[in-house]
Amino acid sequence: MTNIKLLFFLLMAILVSSSCKEDKKVTKEQKALLVIDMQNDFCNGGYDFCNGGSLQVGENPDRVIPLINEEIKSDKYGIVVFSKDWHPQDHVSFASNHSGHKVFETITLEDGTSQTLWPDHCVQDSVGAEFHKDLAVPEGSFVVKKGKNKLYDSYSAFQDNNAKEPTELLAYLKSKNIKEVTVVGLALDYCVYWTCKDAVKNKFKVSLLVKCTEAVAKNTGDDAIADMKKLGVNVVLN
């Protein structure tokens, strides 16, 4: 009789455990696609009047647009969120605002922060800050604008690089009860990478679709992928 009771309790424990696992299953409505910085200045064919943006990412960033559009139009996600760099003209990351320094130099700011200097890009209300004309942005989409404060750079769609100023993204995802995010866009080794890291910190299940990204440079892209794997990001290579 004792053995029968023990077997009964074991079976009940298994059923309860299975039930808990089912409860934790993420539904489509709890999944979000994050499309990072698909703007003219990072692309190579978004303009009608020239062949590339001021900070073109890699050799052919436009190749990812049809792949990202497939994800946007798929039935995999409850919501799709877009981010934009949205810099004032006097932004701290622009080499043009640092006399005697050149593009791609790294300097130390007054607060001790290390800052890479970039060409002017994604200036507020400029053509370069607009989404690429071929990107499928549904009407009424939620758009996170980052890097608005001239004193701080902001690679992540969640917050600035000093973690001093959060964007609206985390609050918006929580308001929609999002549990899992899939990240695509530009650039793999900067804004996509930092967004994935912050998504992990904020306890989301995170996937990266590598085919839907492009890196500024192969070595930094490879390093970013390796680090994201260590952090627990589900890195989908194909």
Residue with tokens 């960033």: 61
User: For residues 225 and 185, is the Cβ–Cβ distance under 8 A?
Assistant: no
Residue 22 falls inside a structural domain:
no
Query: Identity (one letter) of the amino acid at 173?
Result: L
Q: Kindly list the distances between the CA atom of residue 49 and the CA atoms of 45, 52, 86, in Å, as whole numbers in the listed order.
A: 9, 9, 22
pLDDT value for 113: 86
Residue 68 falls inside a structural domain:
yes
Alpha helices in 133-217 (DSSP H): 169-175, 193-201
Q: How far apart are CA 68 and CA 83, in angstroms?
A: 14
What is the 8-class DSSP label of residue 87?
B
Residue 78 falls inside a structural domain:
yes
pLDDT value for 24: 73
User: For residues 232 and 197, is the Cβ–Cβ distance under 8 A?
Assistant: no
Which residue segment(s) compose the domain that 156 sits in? 28-86+131-236
Per-residue pLDDT averaged across 74-86, rounded? Answer: 97
User: For residues 237 and 211, is the Cβ–Cβ distance under 8 A?
Assistant: yes
103 by DSSP, 3-state: which? coil
Half-sphere exposure of 204 (CA within 13 A, CB side): 29
- Domain of 175: which CATH number? 3.40.50.850
Residue 103 falls inside a structural domain:
no
Q: What is the pLDDT of residues 136-178, one digit of tens each?
A: 999 999 999 999 999 999 999 999 998 889 999 999 999 999 9
Residue 39 falls inside a structural domain:
yes
208 has a pLDDT exceeding 80: yes
pLDDT value for 18: 46
Residue 153 falls inside a structural domain:
yes
Q: Whole-number mean pLDDT of the chain? A: 90
Helices 193-201 & 218-231, crossing angle to 10 degrees?
Answer: 10
Q: How many domains does the chain have?
A: 1
Q: How far apart are CA 10 and CA 4, in angstroms?
A: 10
Percent of the chain residues topping a pLDDT of 70: 87
User: Which residues are known catalytic residues?
Assistant: 37, 146, 191
pLDDT value for 22: 43
Residue 108 falls inside a structural domain:
no
60 by DSSP, 3-state: which? coil
pLDDT value for 23: 46
pLDDT value for 4: 61
| 1 vs 223, more confident | 223
pLDDT band of residue 215 (cuts 50, 70, 90) is very high
Query: Identity (one letter) of the amino acid at 175?
Result: S
Residue 6 falls inside a structural domain:
no
